[in-house]
Chains A and B, each alone.
Chain A
Amino acid sequence: MKKFLAIILVVLMVLPLALCGCKDEKKDQSDVQKIIEQAQSMTLEELAKKAIEESNGKKFFGVGNSSRGKSALPVFIEYLQTIDSSYTLEFDWQQPKNNKIFDQLTAESRKTTGTYAMTLIQDGNQIESKMVQTGILDTFIPKEWAEANEIDAAKYDGYLALQTLNKVFMFNCVGTKTFKNCWEYVAKDAHGQFMDIDSEIVGKNFLYMLTQDKYAKYLKDAFDKLSDADKAYFQPTIDEVADTAKDFELGENGKYALAWIKLWVANYNAVEDDGPICQNLVDVSAKDQFGLLVYSKLRSIEESETKSKNNVKVAAYEDGYEGIGGYGYCHYLFVTDNSPLPWTACAFIAYMTCTQEGFEAWGKDMGGYSSNPDVAKKNEELHNHAQGGYEDGENKYPVKNDRGYDWWVGDGKLVLEDPEYCAKVAFTVGSWIETLDKYSPTAEE
């Protein structure tokens, strides 16, 4: 009996290893990649016809870091119905939290035919190492998008971005405190609200990007504008990390970036999502509080006795403001390599990136800028986000007047995500960040 049990156990122990065996490396183009190759030379209308042929009466599953894919899909279906009125498509759009999207896509990739047709995903660093290099996701470049950006789709080796999204420093203005320099966010007892860098990894990418020469210089320049007393407060931290900056082979201002990062990690108050951060900041009780959050979250605020959009200001819009104004990162679009509806996925991606209607789910709010210059222009003409806070000709909510992408990357000193740079420093600067003590309200003296 014992022997019998032992044999059974051994068999049972070996079995899962067999079940978990890795699949062979792909040598040839996958079926989806072949479809993408064809799709890249087709117009949106041609793709739409292919999509109708493929998915009529079926169910489309999408997964993304943005909840608005759910709003974009019905508009896309309406567009397909203008070509074929009998067309129907059920859909399901999921938005996993806590970086789970990568686990979910990895698990799905092991199926012969996956569940998700496409994805809208952020964090270029992980996308490159976990999704693209492993062949889980494929890039599709729509013909019209390539033309608008004056590139050759076949030779383009970047990702397809739907939009650049900005997280901006905002502060509650019920009290008298204002923020005039980005070093004030890391001053003593300053606890900005921010999504935890272990929960939303693009937040960590923001910190990585600060060490790039261009942004480290922004920090250095802002530091130079501080009073002597403030400089004296920050200088010991800058000196302390100077050697580390050299070890990491950062540029001459790298130590300013590392010092800012160290103080930010030690100070920021982690909140689970940008939505709650926005809700917290607009509250009348949140005097002097500030945060770094997605600009468009302001749309979710309903005016009431205690909450108002007029209780907050965008720091970078203030006269005389010095230093970084926020962080810009991209939402990328990919077709899954085992997509059950690849033509429909390509058509949907083309629709979102090449038409204003397709981008409308994101475009109607400030803080999201289409990667297609034609769409971005049409969108601004339609929505006039520059005067987004106006109601009946009155500037009712000045905080909503978006100064636009060009202003943000220029005067607004927006720190832009560069996937390649993030991947490069992920295990130098990234590992160093892991060793830093994080702020915890309960642990403070």
Chain B
Amino acid sequence: MSSQKNNRRVIMWNKIKTFFSKPQNTILVVMGLICTFTTFAPIIAIIEDTLAIHPGTIDANLTGKVSGYTIVNYTDLFTSSVAKINLWNPLLNTLLLAVGACAVSILYGGLFAFLVTRTNLRFKKYLSSIFIFPYIMPQWTLATVWKNLFDSIAVTGNRDGVLAGLLGVNMPKWWCSGMFPSILVLGLHYAPFAYILIGGIFRNMDANLEEAATILNTPKWKIMTRVTLPLIRPAILSTILLVFGSSMGSYPVPHFLGLTTLSTRYIEINDRRAGQASILAVIMMLLGIAIMYFNQRSLKSRKSYTTVTGKSGQTSVINIGRIGKTLVAVILIIITFFTSIFPIISFAFETFLPNPGDYSFLKTFDSSNLTTKWWMTNENVTENGMYGQKGMLFNEMIWQGFAGTMLVSVACALTAGILGTLIGYAVSKRRRSKLAGYVNSVAFLPYLMPSIAVSIAFFKLFSGSINLFNTYWLLIIVGTVKYIPFASRSSLNSMLQLSGEIEEAAIIQDIPWRKRMTRIIVPIQKSSIVSGFLLPFMTCLRELSLFMLLCGQGLILSTQLDYFDEMGLYAFSSGINLILIVTILICNALVNKITGASLDKGIGG
């Protein structure tokens, strides 16, 4: 009896040993545990907060207690006289914003992708590089440029922007702030997603299918709707999922453009309705989980397209005519000038204005209406709008923030990159197992959750007994969790392209796993894997929504930028924007030179 028991134990032990002898299994178990904790623990912390009583807020007032638990936050948020203001209107706006941003990004990015990949358009290389600039820049930069351009005393009632001030043109109210510009700005910001994803399919699409339809005398519109669009459907779905999740949780764009969404309402009511604000965050998370569900369904449907997205037998370029190829290129150059180049010029110009938004120079061309004080002031002065800040070249806070941003970005890129690569590798090796499916999903979930909701959840979790508030550690942990999907998707896609025989050959030669990874697998898919490191780095550099609740304003540049923008010190915020953009461009160029990887090859994984 006991020998039978012993045998069973030995068998079990051997099974465990065999299981863990495969690196992919060990990785899956370890990463499964880590991702489960980092994904679910914050969610539970925030759910707990929705039930907690907060001193000095409405739940304390309604219950007459200063601590303990209650469901009053739920009943009050959903049923009180302010439910429409605090919940339903922001929810509706959030959904409309997310849907609108998806539509704009797909239409603009998709059309751009089509023109660049499937036509004989001129200046493709330039256009392709410049198109991703809005994604590189912090998302609210276009929003501030929009306000600088279109605000007017007559319509928005605060000040004249460039158009009203110089040309006397007053744009209508719906154009200046609210839903329309928010959709447009977010759509433009995320259009590079659509460009990369849809462009990837266009590039590899077998033109034989379209040519066959042409030979059969199918009308062009029918070819587009029946052949081309169905082929890019998976990319459109992926874009929708990525853009929807990201737009839904955007704080700065609706905030700057005067639209009330769940994320802006969270900030607004948090002081007196802390528990109810947490419910808003939970709702955003639930929407993220719903997106996850649709994502998985779309992934399943995408399987049927894998033959199409593989190596194409033939690609063709549509001739849009001698004039057309130049005319369309010029139109695109003009549009991308306003979305990509103009903001940079505008930021640079803003740093030389005597007062924020003071365009006297453009009216007089008198150089005395320009100043270098925002850069060169080397003392602590409060006059002339400096508010005790030194000029940017001498401002220790800004350069410390820059160092902090680099630290967080490099650390997030390395940890997210390494962990994501391992997840991608392990999932690809055991892609039919439930464990792999679980790890893949749970690692991807934070990406689909709105940044601000993730931020709130981690704030609740790490401001208790384990207190990491206002430390680089917390930013690095949150950034890593949020950006692992960049690397895991990038890695998974590249690993799936690798034939198993390559690694099997090495296994037969008894080459250890570490060597197989560093000498064979990683070098072969170097470009994709580096993209998986590059994307977290670039995204982290200008991330605000994810970090704004987790630290004071001084720790990193993006929170400083937000602070200066809020204060109306646009010269400083513009200068920081410039610093960030130049840093990203230099890093992108360097990595591209060294490894061949670049941002526009990796977006969306």
Q: Do A and B come from the same complex? A: yes
346-366 of chain B: CB within 8 A of chain A: 354-360, 363-364, 366
Cβ-defined contact, A22 with B383, below 8 A: no
136-167 of chain B: CB within 8 A of chain A: 153, 155-160, 164-165
Q: How large is the interface on B (under 10, 10 to 19, 20 to 34, 35 or more residues)?
A: 35 or more
Shortest C-beta distance, B116 to chain A (Å), equals 35
Contact partners of A96 in chain B: CB under 8 A: 552-553
Contact partners of A201 in chain B: CB under 8 A: 271
Query: How far is A134 from B355 in the complex, measured between Cα atoms in Å?
Result: 42
Cβ-defined contact, A8 with B157, below 8 A: no
Cβ-defined contact, A108 with B44, below 8 A: no
Cβ-defined contact, B271 with A21, below 8 A: no
Contact partners of A279 in chain B: CB under 8 A: 159, 355-358, 568
88-111 of chain A: CB within 8 A of chain B: 92, 94-100, 102-104, 106-108, 110-111
A19-B461, A19-B464 as given contacts; A306 in contact with B267, CB under 8 Å: no
Shortest C-beta distance, A433 to chain B (Å), equals 10
| Residue from the list A16, A70, A305, A434 in contact with B48, Cβ < 8 A | A16
Q: Is A226 an interface residue (CB 8 A)?
A: no
Query: How far is A137 from B423 in the complex, measured between Cα atoms in Å?
Result: 46
Contact partners of B156 in chain A: CB under 8 A: 269, 441
- Chain B residue at minimal CB-CB distance from A443: B178
Q: Is B330 an interface residue (CB 8 A)?
A: no
Query: How far is A72 from B160 in the complex, measured between Cα atoms in Å?
Result: 35
A71-B380, A199-B268 as given contacts; A441 in contact with B36, CB under 8 Å: no
Query: How far is A286 from B44 in the complex, measured between Cα atoms in Å?
Result: 50
Which of B155, B470, B553 has its CB near the most chain A CB atoms (within 10 A)?
B470
- Chain B residue at minimal CB-CB distance from A1: B435
A74-B380, A275-B569 as given contacts; A16 in contact with B45, CB under 8 Å: yes
Q: Contact string, A3-41, partner B, CB cutoff 8 A, digits 1/0?
A: 001001100110111111111000000000000000000
Shortest C-beta distance, B409 to chain A (Å), equals 21
Cβ-defined contact, A283 with B160, below 8 A: yes
Extra A-B contacts (18), CB below 8 Å, given A108-B470, A279-B355, A431-B82: A5-B438, A13-B44, A16-B42, A20-B48, A21-B465, A68-B382, A97-B562, A103-B459, A129-B55, A129-B56, A271-B158, A275-B387, A276-B159, A276-B356, A285-B165, A289-B158, A300-B383, A440-B258
- Chain A residue at minimal CB-CB distance from B180: A442
Cβ-defined contact, B388 with A67, below 8 A: yes
Q: Is A304 an interface residue (CB 8 A)?
A: yes
182-205 of chain A: CB within 8 A of chain B: 191, 193, 196, 198-199, 201
Cβ-defined contact, B55 with A134, below 8 A: yes
The stretch from B169-177, B217-225, B577-585, B595-603 touching chain A is B169-177
Contact partners of A177 in chain B: CB under 8 A: none
Query: How far is A18 from B45 in the complex, measured between Cα atoms in Å?
Result: 10
Q: Is B215 an interface residue (CB 8 A)?
A: no
Q: Is B308 an interface residue (CB 8 A)?
A: no
Cβ-defined contact, A305 with B56, below 8 A: no
Q: Is B469 an interface residue (CB 8 A)?
A: yes
Shortest C-beta distance, A248 to chain B (Å), equals 14
| Residue from the list A71, A95, A98, A426 in contact with B272, Cβ < 8 A | A426
Top 5 closest pairs, chain A to chain B, by CB: A129-B56, A276-B568, A305-B360, A442-B178, A275-B568
Contact partners of A5 in chain B: CB under 8 A: 32, 438
Q: Is A176 an interface residue (CB 8 A)?
A: no
Cβ-defined contact, B358 with A435, below 8 A: no
Contact partners of A286 in chain B: CB under 8 A: 153, 159-160
Cβ-defined contact, B56 with A130, below 8 A: yes
| Residue from the list A8, A270, A364 in contact with B382, Cβ < 8 A | A364
Cβ-defined contact, A442 with B174, below 8 A: yes
Cβ-defined contact, B465 with A19, below 8 A: yes
Cβ-defined contact, B382 with A272, below 8 A: no
19 residue pairs from A and B, CB less than 8 Å apart? A5-B32, A5-B438, A17-B44, A20-B465, A21-B465, A68-B388, A97-B566, A130-B55, A133-B56, A134-B55, A289-B158, A302-B354, A302-B385, A305-B360, A305-B369, A306-B359, A361-B388, A426-B272, A441-B155
Q: Contact string, A267-296, partner B, CB cutoff 8 A, digits 1/0?
A: 001111101110110010111010000000
| Residue from the list B44, B363, B568 in contact with A16, Cβ < 8 A | B44
Query: How far is A107 from B380 in the complex, measured between Cα atoms in Å?
Result: 30
Shortest C-beta distance, B290 to chain A (Å), equals 21
Q: Contact string, B58-96, partner A, CB cutoff 8 A, digits 1/0?
A: 101100001100000000000001100110000000000
Cβ-defined contact, B358 with A307, below 8 A: yes
Q: Is B472 an interface residue (CB 8 A)?
A: no
Contact partners of B357 in chain A: CB under 8 A: 279, 283
A19-B45, A285-B165, A307-B355 as given contacts; A434 in contact with B85, CB under 8 Å: yes
Q: Is A398 an interface residue (CB 8 A)?
A: no
Q: Is B399 an interface residue (CB 8 A)?
A: no
Query: How far is A296 from B282 in the complex, measured between Cα atoms in Å?
Result: 41
Q: Is B567 an interface residue (CB 8 A)?
A: yes
525-577 of chain B: CB within 8 A of chain A: 549, 552-554, 562-563, 565-569
Contact partners of B267 in chain A: CB under 8 A: 98
Q: Is B327 an interface residue (CB 8 A)?
A: no
Contact partners of A21 in chain B: CB under 8 A: 464-465
Contact partners of B49 in chain A: CB under 8 A: 20
- Chain A residue at minimal CB-CB distance from B177: A442
Q: Is A115 an interface residue (CB 8 A)?
A: yes
Query: How far is A22 from B463 in the complex, measured between Cα atoms in Å?
Result: 11
Cβ-defined contact, A273 with B159, below 8 A: no
Q: Contact string, B15-39, partner A, CB cutoff 8 A, digits 1/0?
A: 0000000000000000011001100
Q: Is A383 an interface residue (CB 8 A)?
A: no
Contact partners of A305 in chain B: CB under 8 A: 360, 363-364, 366, 369
Q: Is B299 an interface residue (CB 8 A)?
A: no
343-402 of chain A: CB within 8 A of chain B: 361, 364-365
Cβ-defined contact, A299 with B45, below 8 A: no
Cβ-defined contact, A304 with B45, below 8 A: no
Q: Is B270 an interface residue (CB 8 A)?
A: yes
Cβ-defined contact, B363 with A12, below 8 A: no
Cβ-defined contact, A289 with B157, below 8 A: yes
Contact partners of A92 in chain B: CB under 8 A: 397, 554
Q: Is B473 an interface residue (CB 8 A)?
A: no
Q: Is A407 an interface residue (CB 8 A)?
A: no
Cβ-defined contact, A12 with B41, below 8 A: yes
Shortest C-beta distance, A295 to chain B (Å), equals 14
Cβ-defined contact, A440 with B178, below 8 A: yes
- Chain B residue at minimal CB-CB distance from A300: B385
| Residue from the list A22, A300, A430, A441 in contact with B157, Cβ < 8 A | A441
Q: Is B127 an interface residue (CB 8 A)?
A: no
Q: Is B40 an interface residue (CB 8 A)?
A: yes
Q: Is B301 an interface residue (CB 8 A)?
A: no
| Residue from the list B61, B363, B438, B464 in contact with A110, Cβ < 8 A | B464
Q: Is A330 an interface residue (CB 8 A)?
A: no
Cβ-defined contact, A12 with B37, below 8 A: yes
Contact partners of B32 in chain A: CB under 8 A: 5
Shortest C-beta distance, B38 to chain A (Å), equals 10
Q: Is B466 an interface residue (CB 8 A)?
A: yes
Q: Is A444 an interface residue (CB 8 A)?
A: yes
Contact partners of A20 in chain B: CB under 8 A: 45, 48-49, 460-461, 464-465
Q: Is B289 an interface residue (CB 8 A)?
A: no
Query: How far is A330 from B459 in the complex, measured between Cα atoms in Å?
Result: 29
Query: How far is A441 from B45 in the complex, measured between Cα atoms in Å?
Result: 38
Shortest C-beta distance, A38 to chain B (Å), equals 28
Q: Is A427 an interface residue (CB 8 A)?
A: yes
Cβ-defined contact, A133 with B66, below 8 A: yes
Q: Is B14 an interface residue (CB 8 A)?
A: no
Q: Is A301 an interface residue (CB 8 A)?
A: yes
A63-B552, A285-B165, A364-B382 as given contacts; A198 in contact with B464, CB under 8 Å: no
Q: Is B467 an interface residue (CB 8 A)?
A: yes
Contact partners of A104 in chain B: CB under 8 A: 469-470, 552
